[in-house]
Structure 1
Amino acid sequence: MKHSKYIQAVQTKWAIIRSDDRLIVIAMAGLVGACSGLAAVALNRTLHYLSDMFQQVHHHWWAFAIPAVGASFSAIFLNHVLHERAGHGVPEVVYAVSRHGGLLRFRSSFSRLVSSCLTIGSGGSAGPEAPVVISGAALGSNIARMFALRERQRIVLVGCGAAGAIASIFNAPITGLVFTVEVILGQWQAFNVIPIAIAAVAGTEVSRLLQGNQIAFAHQQHFVVNIVDIAASFGVVFVATVVSVLLGRLLNGMHHVAERTPLPGWVRPAVGGAAVGIIGLQLPLVQGEGYHAILEMIQGSFHPGILLAAVAIGAKMVATALTLGWGGSGGIFAPSLMIGGLVGLFYHRALTWLIPSAALSNEGCFALLGMAGLVGGILQAPLTAIFLVVEITGGYAVILPLIIVSALTSTFCYYIEPGSFYLRELIEKGQYMPPGTDARILSDLTVGELVETGHAHVPGDTLLSEFIEILQYSNQHVFPVVARDTSRYLGLVLIHRIRPYLFDRQMRGMLFVEQIMEHDVPTVKSDDELSHVLEVMEDQGLDALPVVEHDQFIGMVSKATLLDRYRKELIVQAGM
């Protein structure tokens, strides 16, 4: 008896939670964040293990082949075992959120984890962040599907998965929150922020429990920023903008070159990996995540001179483009951090050489500025760049120049290359719909939801006199015409175009409806996008269009109904 009462109480509480959109999402956010955190920890530990193995053999002449083998196996696993396309995955998450209500396949929750381990662990120049983002997002999507949540709730849980993953991999909860809202969802709304914050906290706590609470790039430097450093940071903006644009174009260019190369899908990554391996024989620091080199730059113990630092910038950019552009699996975060650190260090050394009397802070401070500039420029996400650098380095002392560099670099990169590295491919294909735009709101609706099935229609062999009698008792301005026996759609009668016939008594008994109907009025289908329907209405000067499936008349969709539903959807999305 007590047991049944307990079950009933639990069911009652669950029903209360289930009935409230916000409560159910908040209840699920912690679970999604924790699962994403576990995925991030698993990837992190595996990469550490593989990196240690790689370090033991990277000095051998044949080590250049290891990245080729790793990238090739990565492509085989993705393309032939799981039948997924190669890449870093973040555009897929954005596309799923933008166009498919956050639907992601369950296999995506582990596919990029395995493939990125093979690519990065073997010496490829990429980061683990994008793979854990798609893994966490896929976990959130499938947990939402498991509990039969609605589309808007599923989208938020996709964001929760991404936030938990980023927060866990960097031990940076604020970065996880900001990255998700700024890059994945693209809009700040109270309905989104609260559960995403909870997921970021859950992911961070899982990471701290299993790996310890340590700053990713802990250092002993004490940064003191003065007015000279703030003035000098504007120079970092210029250099970081140039390098960000070059890196983005190099990545896209390498991808297009690889696509045009007549090689099998598993051979292309091997070509890119082999090239990275050859570069790595001379400059080992370009391989892998580059975290060790980043820490050296922050600590001021990066010994190569100014010329070698400049060479390392170019080499790391090429290695990253070869890895990702030719089909390797991984993210752009870690390479951007390393290239940015090198940019800041190079800028500091060049400025000190040109103006020896300049009272600048140490070069570790400028490495942080370069990191923020590159991440902000590539992602065009200034807040993500600021909080990421602050959280992973503890560099709160440099927050003022960090804000300047990140904000201005992001702005300049946007005007030079509209669309971040993650969004450029989607924009080129016309697949990106920013939140809050007309196209995005209309994409959430279908013709099938708005079709008016009670619309009166007339057979094509109806005499005009009979049609006039029907017209007397109707307020319709358009009448679909169908075949009497088969109900096949024939055309449309537009009242304003047949007025001369209506007042000609001689014609009433001579003409049939099919003789005065319009044959060239476009029809739409139930699964057509409403943005397309609205364009057709505007082009034709019509207020309604017939919905036809397999030559059968289904109903009408009107501009008035469409705009009314658009207004309601706008209110709903604004209140999320």
Structure 2
Amino acid sequence: MRVTKATPAAGRRVLADFRADRRILLLAAMAVVIGAAGTVAAWGLLALIALVTNLVWFGRIDTALVSLAQVKPSWWMVAAPILGGLVIGLMARYGSEKIRGHGIPEAIEAILIGGSRMSPRVAVLKPVSSAISIGTGGPFGAEGPIIMTGGAIGSLFAQFFHLSAAERKTLLVAGAAAGMTAIFGTPVAAILLAVELLLFEWRPRSFIPVTAAVVTATMLRPALLGAGPLFPFAADPVLPWWGLVLCAGLGAATGLLSCALTSLLYALEDRFEHLPVHWMWWPALGGLIVGLGGLIEPRALGVGYDVIGDLLGGHIVLGAVLTILVVKAVIWLVALSSGTSGGVLAPLLIIGGAMGWLAGTALPGEPGYWALLGMAAMLGGTMPAPLTGALFAVEVTGDLHALPALLAASVSAYAVTVLVLKRSILTEKIARRGQHITREYGIDPHQFTRVSEVMVRAVETLPGHLPIREAVAVLERGQHRAYPVIDEAGRPVGFVTRADILLWGAEGGHGEERLDEQVSDAALPVIHPEDVTAHAIEKMLASNRGRLPVVDPESRALLGLVTRRDLLQVQASFSRAETERRAYFVRKRA
């Protein structure tokens, strides 16, 4: 057994790790509370949507979700969406403009530039405005609003405690993921959505609390919203050995449709920007198109969960699918670009499912199977979140056997959208507000590169007992701008720079004084060889220094120096690994 000597540096690291572990447990405990609150909020949102729907279309007080397929076309079918849009415009103008849109970009923006702080006003107005929008016929889902609402609950809860912005982000995302889990019963997909779209990291500090919130929502959901998959499905066909090629082809076609929808959405948004009326009136104008679409196909209005069920179950005919696909896409694009409130997941599922169903009429198996693949592909390509798209389809149907085909379709759609579009339907909206978000998830090279790999080992030093007069002479003829000063044991006590020469020359009278009497710094920050370069960057920023001495953790003797230039080499090496291309198994030319 190997026994190592305890050092002060090792002790500090153990204490820091212990404190970090305590913070994770504290955040997880908070996330349980937020998960419960997010589940209740999801139940309340669905009940509110159903209440508004029943009041507007059937004149009754009821909180049971109903389909609008039984609504007969009339003038009210046009008037109701217009009135709903007018109310939402007033709420956005005089309440909070942040309720406009489908919620996920707003949650991302709060994380990126708002310190993960959201206002109580948004937590109240977002679900109310969404219920009015969807209840009056808006072709949206409840998932975007609940992500925004659950995120607001997590953010508000976090603001009562002394937490960092990163910790508030964790609790914000915990609330959002819990809300999505409660709506759809998809815990794994909710966690993946949190990682792919909201967290921008995969760390225990964030992953464990978010999972705690999602598990809490999963436990509470049966009591409030029911158990089991939302759209049970298990009619998987026996495909030929090359069947996954068909799945990937459907995914690629769905990806092209996703690109077209995203481009059309922002083209329409640009058109609304040029209207000679205040944006408060835009949702009402969008409501006009929604109402006209409802006259053509009433089932295109509202959440449309019944349509999803019919697409999967095959209880629908070709003409109806074609009509729903066209009408749903048109009214969804116009309504969303007008700035009204509502989610995008349910409309994407319907549009992707309709396309997959139509393709499935010419492919092996039932059209419902290909509708399922189209849903996953549309979700994975548009968001873009391919893993979320595949796992979401599995959990919402309970069909685990379809996972390989779902992955093929979802990743193919994702590949198409990444190659065709610069930004996704989510990041484009944020980019238009001046923020840039990369669509790639990677590891910071500074998090795994050790200081020992980049530090300068051959360091010229000055002994602390050296008279200042001699030190000045060394600096005047030396090649470096700064030299570390060490004591008799080789431990760094400070730095002497060329600027010090000018200062001493102006003051005079320091010629015979010892160098360490002028430059000794008890607060001199040091770094250890086994530390990662990210830690060195943090120390440089905290101390406002451009170089740090690297010391032995036990003796504190100087081993080398690390400078800003050395740290830049880490990124340069990482860039070379990405861009330099070389073949090794080739014949060399003579």
For residues 563 and 24 of structure 1, what CA distance do their matches in structure 2 show?
Answer: 37
Equivalent residue for 2:380? 376
Structure 2 residue corresponding to 1:395, chosen from 392, 395, 399:
399
Structure 1 residue corresponding to 2:435, chosen from 431, 456, 478:
431
Q: Are positions 1:334 and 2:346 aligned together? A: yes
Q: Which amino acid aligns with 1:232?
A: L
For residues 565 and 20 of structure 1, what CA distance do their matches in structure 2 show?
Answer: 36
Change in Cα spacing, 1:151 to 1:297, as seen in structure 2 (3 Å) is same
Is the CA contact 2:352–2:377 (under 8 Å) kept in the aligned structure 1? yes
Equivalent residue for 1:537? none
Shift of 1:369: 0.3
Is the CA contact 1:299–1:364 (under 8 Å) kept in the aligned structure 2? yes
For residues 139 and 294 of structure 1, what CA distance do their matches in structure 2 show?
Answer: 29
Change in Cα spacing, 1:96 to 1:84, as seen in structure 2 (3 Å) is closer
Shift of 1:134: 1.1
For residues 126 and 253 of structure 1, what CA distance do their matches in structure 2 show?
Answer: 19
For residues 97 and 278 of structure 2, what CA distance do their matches in structure 1 show?
Answer: 15
Q: Which amino acid aligns with 1:274?
A: L
Change in Cα spacing, 1:271 to 1:30, as seen in structure 2 (3 Å) is same
Shift of 1:282: 0.8
Shift of 1:42: 0.6
- Stretch of structure 1 that moved more, 284-293 or 222-231: 222-231
Structure 2 residue corresponding to 1:76, chosen from 87, 90, 93:
90
Q: Which amino acid aligns with 2:324?
A: A
For residues 253 and 110 of structure 1, what CA distance do their matches in structure 2 show?
Answer: 31
Q: Which amino acid aligns with 2:36?
A: A
Is the CA contact 1:268–1:327 (under 8 Å) kept in the aligned structure 2? yes
Structure 1 residue corresponding to 2:122, chosen from 101, 108, 112:
108
TM-score where L is the length of structure 1: 0.71
Change in Cα spacing, 1:169 to 1:563, as seen in structure 2 (3 Å) is farther
Equivalent residue for 1:317? 329
Is the CA contact 1:380–1:419 (under 8 Å) kept in the aligned structure 2? no
Equivalent residue for 2:586? none
Deviations 1:454-482 (A, max 9, x none): xxxxxxxxxxxxxx9xx99xxx989xxxx
Deviations 1:465-507 (A, max 9, x none): xxx9xx99xxx989xxxxxxxxxxxxxxx989x99xx99x9xx
Is the CA contact 1:124–1:276 (under 8 Å) kept in the aligned structure 2? yes
For residues 370 and 52 of structure 2, what CA distance do their matches in structure 1 show?
Answer: 31
For residues 374 and 332 of structure 2, what CA distance do their matches in structure 1 show?
Answer: 17
Is the CA contact 2:251–2:377 (under 8 Å) kept in the aligned structure 1? yes
Is the CA contact 1:159–1:181 (under 8 Å) kept in the aligned structure 2? no
Shift of 1:123: 0.4
For residues 563 and 94 of structure 2, what CA distance do their matches in structure 1 show?
Answer: 46
Q: Which amino acid aligns with 1:199?
A: A
For residues 309 and 21 of structure 2, what CA distance do their matches in structure 1 show?
Answer: 49
Deviations 1:57-109 (A, max 9, x none): 55323311111111221121122134545212211211222233312222222
Equivalent residue for 1:224? 237
For residues 219 and 243 of structure 2, what CA distance do their matches in structure 1 show?
Answer: 36
Change in Cα spacing, 1:195 to 1:564, as seen in structure 2 (3 Å) is farther
Change in Cα spacing, 1:314 to 1:233, as seen in structure 2 (3 Å) is same
Change in Cα spacing, 1:97 to 1:226, as seen in structure 2 (3 Å) is same
- Stretch of structure 1 that moved more, 84-93 or 170-179: 84-93
Is the partner of 1:20 in helix, strand or coil?
Answer: helix
Is the partner of 2:93 in helix, strand or coil?
Answer: helix
Equivalent residue for 1:195? 209
- State percent identity of aligned pairs: 28
- Stretch of structure 1 that moved more, 31-40 or 181-190: 181-190
Q: Which amino acid aligns with 1:121?
A: G
Is the CA contact 1:108–1:138 (under 8 Å) kept in the aligned structure 2? yes
Is the CA contact 1:224–1:397 (under 8 Å) kept in the aligned structure 2? no
Structure 2 residue corresponding to 1:346, chosen from 358, 377, 380:
358
Is the CA contact 2:427–2:437 (under 8 Å) kept in the aligned structure 1? no
Shift of 1:564: 7.0
Change in Cα spacing, 1:311 to 1:161, as seen in structure 2 (3 Å) is same
For residues 27 and 197 of structure 1, what CA distance do their matches in structure 2 show?
Answer: 11
For residues 401 and 19 of structure 1, what CA distance do their matches in structure 2 show?
Answer: 39
Equivalent residue for 2:421? 417
Equivalent residue for 2:137? 123
- Stretch of structure 1 that moved more, 368-377 or 210-219: 210-219
Shift of 1:556: 11
State the number of aligned residues: 447
**Alignment RMSD (CA, Å):** 3.6
For residues 85 and 164 of structure 1, what CA distance do their matches in structure 2 show?
Answer: 20
Gaps of 5+ in 1: 1-15, 353-359, 442-467, 479-493, 506-543, 546-554, 571-576
Deviations 1:309-367 (A, max 9, x none): 34432321111111110121011101000001101011112x25xxxxxxx11111000
Q: How does 1:489-568 map to 2 (within 5 A)?
A: 559-560=546-547
For residues 147 and 387 of structure 1, what CA distance do their matches in structure 2 show?
Answer: 34
Deviations 1:286-306 (A, max 9, x none): 21111111100100111233x
Q: How does 1:32-181 map to 2 (within 5 A)?
A: 32-56=34-58, 58-82=72-96, 84=98, 86-181=100-195
Shift of 1:284: 1.4
Shift of 1:563: 7.5
For residues 367 and 431 of structure 1, what CA distance do their matches in structure 2 show?
Answer: 35
For residues 19 and 214 of structure 2, what CA distance do their matches in structure 1 show?
Answer: 21
Is the CA contact 2:360–2:369 (under 8 Å) kept in the aligned structure 1? no
Change in Cα spacing, 1:284 to 1:563, as seen in structure 2 (3 Å) is farther
Q: Which amino acid aligns with 1:167?
A: T
Gaps of 5+ in 2: 1-17, 59-70, 448-471, 483-496, 507-539, 549-561, 571-590
